[in-house]
Amino acid sequence: MLLVKSIEVIEVNADICDLFHKQQPSDTALPQVGTVHITKEMVSGKQFTNAQGQTICIGMSKQVQDAIGLPFEVLDNLNKALFDDNEAILARDTKIQRQKDRINFYVNMSFWKKLKYLFSDYL
């Protein structure tokens, strides 16, 4: 996984990594001597396939995601929408195929079978 933290790139051997940040002192509050505030962020990587066909895993801190304007939630939502669209297309194609099979069954019937179906409730 390539973990992108600000401008630094760190290679780690996992898909999830803990990232620690030193908090910058605010302008209004005076920092206490000897006190360091550290925050912990869980960074999970997302797998991508590049143009060469290689699968890579990239993780970005929240700050980096906000800076480039592409949070991973957007990619997750797009993938979910694509999956839902594919499921709808598959359901539609299955329905169309069933209707075509019914029509072909009826077209290939003899005249007497069609006459029989005309006066019965089979269709």
Contacts of 62 (CB under 8 A, 6+ apart): 41
Residue 40, classed as helix, strand or coil, is strand
Rounded to two decimals, the pTM is 0.48
Segment 17-32 mean pLDDT: 61
pLDDT attached to residue 22:
65
CA-nearest of 71, 64, 42, 46 to 56 is: 46
Query: What backbone torsions phi and psi does residue 40 show, to the nearest 5 degrees?
Result: -115, 135
Using an 8 Å Cβ cutoff, are 55 and 49 in contact? yes
Q: Which residue has the higher pLDDT, 74 or 15?
A: 74
